[in-house]
Amino acid sequence: MRDLAYQGLRRLLVLQRIPEGQRLREPQWAEELGVNRTALREAFARLEAEGLIEKGERTGYFVPKLTGHDVDEIKFARVVLECAAIDLICADMKRASRAAKALFAICDEFEKFSKSKYSMGTSEADRRFHETLMDFAENRRLALLYHRAPLPLVRVQIATEDLWFEQCRLTAAEHRGIAEAIADADRSRAQQLLRDHLHARHDLPIPA
């Protein structure tokens, strides 16, 4: 139950599916996750230690509000870790080929979910693309740093469905560009495309 509560909440926090500043009420989340409140409290403690939630001044836990400085730190950390992964992947042509195949499959999922307007699936495919980069680096400690660090997707609200689809289109094209560079084991191009992707705008927005 502890792991169920922890993994379920962490997934939602990383995908920014719980609004910033919201209080995490025990009865609501225990019922939603199907766990007892003791297990939920232990999950809260782990998530607080990771920096994904904060303890209130008096009682309870809250989803922190990201400042501009927070966003800059998240992007910097992701660039450092993901570029290191690309270094390791592109050093081995066979590994680069395997990684590219997996990344192209995720690109296909991303496009399928966005066309069907399934925003949660689209967000998960977006995150999975970057996590797959880390996994194919085949460096356990590097992957642990990435997976355990408080690096949520950084999102903005999109006012219209048309704008959301346009952002999806741009994200899909950038992901494919990174995957193509990795398929060629071109680490410099893959790393530059990744930097451009992470710094050009926030991650895939949430449709209004």
Q: What is the pLDDT of residue 155?
A: 64
- Which residue has better confidence, 163 or 37? 37
Band of residue 79 on the pLDDT scale cut at 50, 70, 90? very high
For residues 107 and 81, give the distance between their C-alpha atoms in angstroms, rounded to a whole number: 21
pLDDT surpasses 60 at 205:
no
Q: Average per-residue pLDDT in the chain?
A: 89
pLDDT surpasses 60 at 13:
yes
Domains with residue ranges and CATH for the chain: 2-62 (1.10.10.10), 68-207 (1.20.120.530)
Interval 60-74 mean pLDDT: 88
Spatial neighbors of 28 by CB under 8 A, at least 6 apart, are: none
Q: What is the pLDDT of residue 7?
A: 87
With b for 16 or more beta-carbon neighbours within 10 A and e for fewer, the 89-102 pattern comes to bbeeeebbeebbeb
- Which residue has better confidence, 205 or 132? 132
Query: Quick one: tokens of 177?
Result: 């560009």
User: Over the stretch 120-163, which tens digit does the pLDDT of each residue have?
Assistant: 889 889 999 999 999 999 999 999 999 888 887 776 555 577 78
Q: What is the pLDDT of residue 80?
A: 95
pLDDT surpasses 90 at 17:
no
* Residue 24 near residue 63, CB atoms below 8 Å: yes
For residues 208 and 206, give the distance between their C-alpha atoms in angstroms, rounded to a whole number: 6
pLDDT surpasses 70 at 207:
no
pLDDT surpasses 90 at 98:
yes
Interval 171-199 mean pLDDT: 96
Q: What is the pLDDT of residue 159?
A: 54
